[in-house]
Structure 1
Amino acid sequence: MLKPGLPGFPSERLGALFAPVAAREKIALAVSGGGDSLGLMVLVGHWLKSWDLHPEIFVYSLNHGLRAEAADETAMVGEIARDMGFSFRELIWDEKKPTTGIQAAAREARYRLIAQAMHRDGVDILLTGHHINDQAETVLMRLAAGSGIYGLRGMEAISRMQGIEVFRPLLEVKSEELTNLLCHVGLRSVQDPGNIDEKFERVRWRKALGGLGGLGLDCDRLSVFSKRMARADQALRQMCDDLFASHVHVDQFGVLGMDQKDFFSQPDEMAIRLLSRMIYAASGGRGKGELAQLEKLVQALAVQDFTAHTLAHCKVAKRHDFIFVAREAGRIEGGQVLVGAGETIV
């Protein structure tokens, strides 16, 4: 299986793909048996061999029980993983399945069960097989859903889910490269019927993407676009952080305030981000408002007779030349306050 050399994946490229985890002592892989994740497992094996690295590799595969073949598929993954010298864990999703939103539910269960297994095994980073085609589909889906700059960054190479760090090393790799890789090493991947079922939005975008390539909107172009959005978002986020620190004030009751002149002197994008940040802080991190809601609220705040509005469990008010954001009274969690003899509280 670990044949000398891989077409398209010389040692230097493998080193660059997995550089962020080169110093890790334990690494987890999420492997379903599909072409993407099997390709990831093969690449990891060749990377370790070509760079003479010896971390402990844990392969987690979910038996979701949604198809009769699920148990055989995880067994196949386990056999390949053990042949490569990796530790293997089969995870079983034996909870009651929802009647709608099954893909989202299965995805949530997968990461949750993997996170639990990782904690037991003492592993703190998970590698997934998401590639450049997945990134292109994600960007198109979010664009159609009305996402702003933040969402159009697509998937981040490194993020957190279910309390674990997730690394996607293949976001610059095409799905065709992984298909060719598996052919080269003689592995056949699992074919999930859900990946061609057009009742799922991602499948529809996958098919549409093929036609968009002829117009110049291919995976490479969309990947570059997502990186530019990420760069713009990083700059805007830093500007918002600086303005929040210098212009937003918090009183002893957790009410946030900002001078109206300072707020309305900002470009619309920055005003939206500041308001979202104020709501997030006031709500204790429980919400920040949807982009379309925030856009409407910023416009409403500019109207002379605006008084108050509720969003994400927070009350946004304009009073005495200030914009105030506070958590709704009914959403404030009460707590015990011990008062000693002779002490008073306000």
Structure 2
Amino acid sequence: MAALAPPVAAARVAVRRALVGLTGDGPVLVACSGGADSLALAAATAFVAPRLGRRAGLVTVDHGLQPGSAERAAAVARWAVESGLDPVDAVPVTVAGRPGGPEAAAREARYQALVATARRRGAAAVLLGHTRDDQAETVLLALARGAGPRGLAGMPERRELDGVTLLRPLLAVSREETRKACAALGLTPWEDPHNVDPAYARARVRSDVLPSLVRALGPAVLDNLARTARLVAADTAALDELAAAALTEARSPEGGLGVDTLAAQPVALRTRVLHAWARELGAPPAALSHRHVDALDALVTQWHGQGAVHLPGGLRVARQEGRLTLADPR
């Protein structure tokens, strides 16, 4: 019997680690575009999941952004059925008219489709094909944006989105390994032209920035960036737990948050408390930025009688009688 190709084994081991201990009786669904990363993930899941007593299915999203996208989605779905995956769904979405740039709009449409399909199929989780290289790119883009620890934490291995579990089993597997896994299995991945389109920041990082870093610092830079994300994510999770307790402590019986209690907190906790509270008030997370949190923090630490802080969603927060409170809209 031929030896199992190491990249195929790496993908299967990663999937097994992600699925062991997963609760719920429903199938796991692989989000698959037909690219090397998600195709290798789908093949690994088709092998591993039944051996763990779980059904494995696939969902491919047709964004309708390129000629032939519907045919390509149908081809991915046919391959999935032939590979024994079940259930299999090809879901068309509309990207045009959504807020944000084209990347953000397509991402929002894709995740909405994945969540809706998972709910309809009663899935235990949706598996995403992001690799170590994707994680490194995410960290670099976060650095370029001046993101804080939450951005530098990169993509989590597991998260809940609208009640649906999302898993990223391949975050420790390289993009090159997924290509080699596909080759070893006789699979031909689709090459998305958007991945090399310089109009997109991530494509520029992928084609120019990361190769330059590897040439200058050596190939270990990719692992180091991904490890940085894991370390920062662990620290961020711990700080978030402390901030949740601090938010409870800062709540005033009269409503709002007590300024003196907030002021006694370290800045790393205080700003997290203010961010969480702003979201609790109804500020849209995507529009809530560090500038808004800094303005709230100034009401606590640099108070000189300034007016209310305007938050996204038409919210106004003022300092009154030693408390931060939601002011009446004007």
How far apart, CA to CA, are the structure 1 residues paired with 2:302 and 2:29?
53
Flag the 1:12–1:90 CA change in 2: closer, same or farther, 3 A. closer
2:118 corresponding residue in structure 1: 118
2:82 corresponding residue in structure 1: 83
SS of equivalent to 1:60: strand
Q: Is the 8 A contact 1:256 1:278 kept in 2?
A: no
Q: Letter of the aligned partner of 1:28 in structure 2?
A: L
Q: Is the 8 A contact 1:30 1:59 kept in 2?
A: yes
Choose which of 226, 229, 233 in structure 1 pairs with 2:229.
226
Flag the 1:290–1:157 CA change in 2: closer, same or farther, 3 A. same
Where does 1:28-47 land on structure 2 (aligned, <5 Å)?
28-47=29-48
TM-score of the superposition, structure 2-length normalised?
0.86
Pick the structure with more helix per residue: 2
Report the Cα offset of residue 97 of structure 1. 6.0
Q: Which moved more, 1:77-86 or 1:10-19?
A: 10-19
Q: Is the 8 A contact 1:314 1:325 kept in 2?
A: no
Flag the 1:12–1:69 CA change in 2: closer, same or farther, 3 A. closer
Where does 1:143-162 land on structure 2 (aligned, <5 Å)?
143-162=143-162
Flag the 1:179–1:24 CA change in 2: closer, same or farther, 3 A. farther
How far apart, CA to CA, are the structure 2 residues paired with 1:100 and 1:274?
27
Flag the 1:275–1:53 CA change in 2: closer, same or farther, 3 A. closer
Identity of aligned residues (%): 26
Q: Are 1:309 and 2:308 counterparts?
A: yes
TM-score of the superposition, structure 1-length normalised?
0.82
How far apart, CA to CA, are the structure 1 residues paired with 2:303 and 2:113?
52
* Larger gyration radius, structure 1 or structure 2: 1
Q: Is the 8 A contact 1:35 1:182 kept in 2?
A: yes
Where does 1:48-127 land on structure 2 (aligned, <5 Å)?
48=49, 52-87=51-86, 88-93=88-93, 96=96, 101-127=101-127
Flag the 1:273–1:77 CA change in 2: closer, same or farther, 3 A. same
How far apart, CA to CA, are the structure 2 residues paired with 1:92 and 1:267?
47
1:212 corresponding residue in structure 2: 213
- Note the residue ranges of structure 2 that are not aligned, 5 or more in a row: none
2:240 corresponding residue in structure 1: 237
Report the Cα offset of residue 269 of structure 1. 1.9
Flag the 1:273–1:120 CA change in 2: closer, same or farther, 3 A. closer
1:338 corresponding residue in structure 2: none
How far apart, CA to CA, are the structure 2 residues paired with 1:98 and 1:284?
21
Instruction: Tell me which of the two structures has the higher relative contact order, counting C-alpha pairs closer than 8 angstroms and 6 or more residues apart.
Output: 2
SS of equivalent to 2:198: coil
Q: Letter of the aligned partner of 2:48 in structure 1?
A: W
Q: Is the 8 A contact 1:278 1:325 kept in 2?
A: no
How far apart, CA to CA, are the structure 2 residues paired with 1:311 and 1:302?
17
Q: Which moved more, 1:9-18 or 1:168-177?
A: 9-18
Report the Cα offset of residue 330 of structure 1. 3.1
How far apart, CA to CA, are the structure 2 residues paired with 1:295 and 1:178?
42
Report the Cα offset of residue 29 of structure 1. 1.1
In the alignment of these two chains, the number of paired residues is: 320
